[in-house]
A and B are shown apart, each in its own frame.
Chain A
Amino acid sequence: MSQLAYIHSGSKTRVQKMRVGISVTTPGVPVIGATADNEGVLLGTTTTSADAVGMAIDTATYNTGQQTDSSDPSQTVSVVTNADAVWQCRLSGAATSGSALIPYFNTAASATGVLVTPSATSGGSTVDMSAVDDTVIFCYSGANAGLYRRMEPADATDVNLTQAFPFAIAVDDLFIVCPITEGAVQFSTFTTTLDEYDALVATALNTTPTWRAVELVLNDIGNNGLLNSYVNLICADHAFAGSALA
């Protein structure tokens, strides 16, 4: 699910019907401009959507041959073409859409609120977070629920925080790792169906991200954040924006 949240500049939404060069079976997926030997717009990939023309907001079937009812084989998909459209994507805990985010248990108390020891199970071994340095750790339950900080993993055993949480971190406080920051570091990619953002911690750094996070909408246990957390994205490589990533 990637839904149009708003237009960043506040202008009106622009929708174009565009001929497809591939079947679009799911609404809310990124589409890119036609490349050589293609009839129309194509789907982006899980890691990049260079030269995107926008997001599809309905579906279309790509046909090549004449139709039995003599209808036009060419079909169109409705695309929101605003270059500054902001899309709200649900954060998924795996490459499959609908997966819950993974909660991590804190295994050692921190009275000063500057150390998190995340584990997949209560009292279990610590998960190495060094691959997602400088991204976000969000307190899902506990005294600091609803707040997040930048991670500074010292080693494979714990995560340092430069800026303390306001309250002590207790054993078994739950945390979510969101490997993406507003406008910067991004370890996430689209899920295989292109309609959610895969925030699985094991995901490698996305070196060609064409989508930038505008804001994080993370929810704690009071709002079922494991299934109800989002990232608002904007396209940084839009075909109609007059600028493209190198």
Chain B
Amino acid sequence: MKSTSPNILTPQQWTALDRMKAMAFGGRKRGTLGGSLVSDMVSLQKTLILCGNCQGKFDYRRSGYYSVYRYEHQPVLGPCDVCRTQITGNDGRLFLHEEVRPEAWATPDEQKQRRATQRQVADPQYRRRR
């Protein structure tokens, strides 16, 4: 049976100010879905900043990302890439692509390994006690 329901169109009333805001830098552009943006950023191996509300929807393991909070318990400040909220508390999460991370972020394990023979400098007496 053919539907007789009319299409109800409620066009958004964008103001000039809205359009100006959309042109300014500030993360996701108006009209772009957050999920699509994240998907695009993942394909470009871009770094992601997600707020407490948005991070649960991002499967960083499946996308091949390193979660700074998961492994270092370190929150991040900055604008959420999805909802554009300025994160000021402790719920911001930084995700680095696994191929980018080694070039820009030293993990605690890496730093520990690099100081493996540094103990002798910090404690000259270490040599004699060994």
The interface of chain A, by Cβ under 8 A from chain B, is: 1-5, 12-19, 26-28, 55-59, 72, 74, 76, 78, 88, 145-148, 166, 195, 217-220, 222-223, 225, 228, 230
Contact assessment for B76 and A219 in the assembled complex, using a CB-CB cutoff below 8 Å: no
A3-B103, A14-B77 given; A146·B117 CB < 8 A: yes
B116: A residues at CB distance < 8 A: 219, 222-223
Interface positions, chain B 86-130, Cβ under 8 Å from A, are 90, 92, 94, 96-97, 100, 102-106, 110-111, 113-121, 124, 127
Contact assessment for A19 and B25 in the assembled complex, using a CB-CB cutoff below 8 Å: yes
B68: A residues at CB distance < 8 A: 13
A15-B94, A57-B100 given; A223·B25 CB < 8 A: no
Decide if B34 is an interface residue (CB 8 Å cutoff): no
A12-B74, A76-B25 given; A27·B111 CB < 8 A: no
Given pairs A17-B78, A58-B97, A146-B119, 19 additional interface contacts (CB within 8 A): A3-B105, A3-B106, A12-B74, A12-B77, A13-B68, A14-B76, A15-B76, A27-B103, A28-B103, A57-B47, A58-B45, A146-B121, A146-B127, A147-B120, A148-B121, A219-B116, A222-B116, A223-B113, A223-B116
- Provide the bound-state CA to CA distance between A18 and B75, in Å: 20
B102: A residues at CB distance < 8 A: 1, 3
**A217 closest partner in B (C-beta):** B114
B75: A residues at CB distance < 8 A: 12
A219: B residues at CB distance < 8 A: 114, 116-118
Contact assessment for A17 and B25 in the assembled complex, using a CB-CB cutoff below 8 Å: yes
Contact assessment for B117 and A166 in the assembled complex, using a CB-CB cutoff below 8 Å: no
Contact assessment for B117 and A220 in the assembled complex, using a CB-CB cutoff below 8 Å: yes
- Provide the bound-state CA to CA distance between A2 and B79, in Å: 24
A228: B residues at CB distance < 8 A: 114
The residue that A13 contacts in the complex, of B29, B76, B111, B115, with Cβ under 8 A, is B76
- Provide the bound-state CA to CA distance between A145 and B74, in Å: 35
Decide if B64 is an interface residue (CB 8 Å cutoff): no
A28-B103, A58-B46, A217-B118 given; A15·B111 CB < 8 A: no
Contact assessment for B76 and A12 in the assembled complex, using a CB-CB cutoff below 8 Å: yes
Minimum Cβ distance to chain B for residue A236 (Å): 21
